[in-house]
Structure 1
Amino acid sequence: MEIKIMDLVGRRSYNCDILFRVIDIQQIGGQKMVSLYGEDFRLVADAPYHDLIVINKNQRSKFREQARTLEEQSLKLFEQDVELLKERQQYEATNGYVKQNNYFQMPGKVLHLDGDPAYLKKCMDLYKKFGVPVLGIHCHEKEMPLKISSLMDYYRPDILVITGHDAYSKTKGKMSDINAYRHSKHFVQTVKEARKKVPHLDQLVIFAGACQSHFESLIHAGANFASSPSRINIHALDPVYIVAKISFTPFMERIHVWDVLRNTLTGEKGMGGIETRGMLRIGMPYNPVQEE
């Protein structure tokens, strides 16, 4: 079967372990090479045309069912966390008195830059479900360092997400060499530009990275949370779970790293970070505008 742009494929040499979208097909050095983006994992890869197989509808459903099960588990755990946070906040805001609609919440505002429009849409849908205020921008990874400053001036976020696709290639260098990664250096440059605007780690919380990204460089550049400590693939929605937890944790509370990572789909092997304050603020009284 002929393989075309946007087809969903698997790699024979990897036993079709990950579902990919075909992004580009080129003739390079006498053989056809195909550029691939992970459908559920933030991984970019190149593969020989002959190594790929088109995934049929039945196989596709199996991949999606597996992904959906993982997503639902994380979503359920996160919703439990948020509900407990809200109950505690209501108790503290009213000194234990039960009274409806007597306070309002201001969760941390998120600016999310994503190199993949399909992933961005998935993330935006989840932010909306959680009630996180967010502006999502599709931006190629190479352009992020050039655009981040003006975007921050425009939106003034509390939390910044810098993600998209990445991959480590051992043929390009050692794991410690940032030039052996597809987009890690662009993520690092973007974090550095953002920190020029807001140096303080608790005034702007940054998540940066994608699959197999150079975790140490991202943290040293100024990210609060980053991927990927073990250079594994991270799920497309993992940044949202981390960011939503930060957005809904009160600003007087510290977020312990494990409390954030435990409900993500890839855990501490795929994500890591440093202690960080939450971004939620509570106000009183809640006074909705009355409709005439």
Structure 2
Amino acid sequence: MNQGDLVVRKSYGGDVLFRVEEVRTHNAVLKGTDYRLLADAPIPDLSVVKDPEATRAVQQVRIKVNESLKRMRNARERQGIAAENTIRLPEKQNTNYFEMPGKVLHLDGDNNYLKKSMQLYQTMQVPAHGLYLHESQMADVLYRLLPQLKPDIVVITGHDGVLKNRAPNEVYSLSSYKNSQNFVNAVRVAREYEKNRDGLVVVAGACQSHFEALLQAGSNFASSPGRILIHALDPVYIAIKSSYTSIRESIDLHEVIHGTISGIDGVGGIETMGRYRVGLPKPKTGSAYGAVSSQAYHA
């Protein structure tokens, strides 16, 4: 067993694929390759995976991911058609309009997930600024970055989980979670910066996060109502949906939640207006944003 090995847990029936982050005397620290899960397991319980694409865990996830991406692309195409119909003159003249999708600030406690997220923002042409940093640093970094970047959407995510050593009745205590308190602190900073939940859309949480506490702190969307694992790209899916929903429309809660890979037990939220705008006429050079770019940084 070595650092970097891909493994599954025998006791869980190999349901999740992990990468070994650290090997200790009797156990190993694991990070999910597709799910935002940080875990540890006894070394004898781990089985090294040589061909991850052949495992049931990966195959099932790939199917869900492909379905989610297809829904995302279809929604983007519909938005483009709707924008063109909205801006077209009564005489049906050809009108060159420009688009201003909502700008995303994405804070992530996992560098690999951040890279995947930024690639998807880039593919979907969402302007995004990503930062990899520990969950405990997110509140302080947001306090500094929000006035500088002025995003329309903030994603606060990384790793989380319900602690094993807790009393059964402590599931609603923030102290029973690995990082939910850090996420709550960051959400509060974001909401202090912009109190209007339609003025700044906040997407927060990771696997098994304290859903109710995150909503109460001021997030629009949060994980995890059912205290389940969420896919690494679920917060990104919601951010993209927010970015490309018109400011004149409420984000379709049913569509966006059931469009995620994890579904209703993984993500929930409240009614929220979109952050997408169109304008006339199209600038002769570039776009109103300049080139749409997605950039990732380390803290």
With the length of structure 1 as denominator, give the TM-score of the two structures: 0.92
1:137-216 → structure 2 map (5 Å cutoff):
137-173=131-167, 174-216=170-212
Match of 2:47, SS state, is strand
Match of 2:30, SS state, is strand
Q: Which amino acid aligns with 1:76?
A: K
Q: Which amino acid aligns with 2:160?
A: D
User: Could you report, residue by residue, the CA deviation over 1:32-70 in whole angstroms, capped at 9, with x for unpaired residues?
Assistant: 22111111001111111221111112x444344433222
Distance 2:91 2:75 in 1: 22
Change (3 A) 1:18 1:202: same
Distance 2:90 2:210 in 1: 46
| RMSD over equivalenced CA pairs, Å | 1.6
- Per-residue deviation at 1:228? 0.2
- Per-residue deviation at 1:97? 5.3
1:202-281 → structure 2 map (5 Å cutoff):
202-281=198-277
Distance 1:168 1:216 in 2: 14
Q: Which has the higher contact order (CA 8 A, sep 6+)?
A: 2
1:1-150 → structure 2 map (5 Å cutoff):
3-27=1-25, 32-57=26-51, 59-62=52-55, 63-95=57-89, 98-100=92-94, 102-150=96-144
- Per-residue deviation at 1:181? 0.8
Change (3 A) 1:97 1:79: farther
* Structure 1 contact 23–37 (Cα < 8 Å) conserved: yes
* Structure 2 contact 17–58 (Cα < 8 Å) conserved: no
Match of 2:265, SS state, is helix
Change (3 A) 1:97 1:219: farther
* Structure 2 contact 103–127 (Cα < 8 Å) conserved: yes
Distance 1:206 1:268 in 2: 18
Q: Which amino acid aligns with 2:39?
A: A
User: Could you report, residue by residue, the CA deviation over 1:184-220 in whole angstroms, capped at 9, with x for unpaired residues?
Assistant: 1100011011112111111110000001000000000
Distance 1:43 1:106 in 2: 34
Identity over the aligned pairs, expressed in percent? 44
Long gaps (5+) in structure 1: none
* Structure 1 contact 167–183 (Cα < 8 Å) conserved: yes
Change (3 A) 1:76 1:96: farther
Change (3 A) 1:84 1:98: farther
- Per-residue deviation at 1:99? 4.8
Match of 1:84, SS state, is helix
* Structure 2 contact 160–207 (Cα < 8 Å) conserved: yes
**Structure-1 residue corresponding to 2:295:** none
User: Could you report, residue by residue, the CA deviation over 1:129-152 in whole angstroms, capped at 9, with x for unpaired residues?
Assistant: 111000010011111122111121
How many residue pairs get matched? 283
- Per-residue deviation at 1:12? 1.2
Distance 1:60 1:49 in 2: 22
Long gaps (5+) in structure 2: 287-299
Q: Which amino acid aligns with 2:225?
A: P
Distance 1:256 1:120 in 2: 26
Match of 1:68, SS state, is helix
Q: Which amino acid aligns with 2:232?
A: A
Find runs of 4+ consecutive structure 1 residues off by over 3 angstroms: 59-66, 95-101
User: Could you report, residue by residue, the CA deviation over 1:98-128 in whole angstroms, capped at 9, with x for unpaired residues?
Assistant: 5556110101000000000000111111111
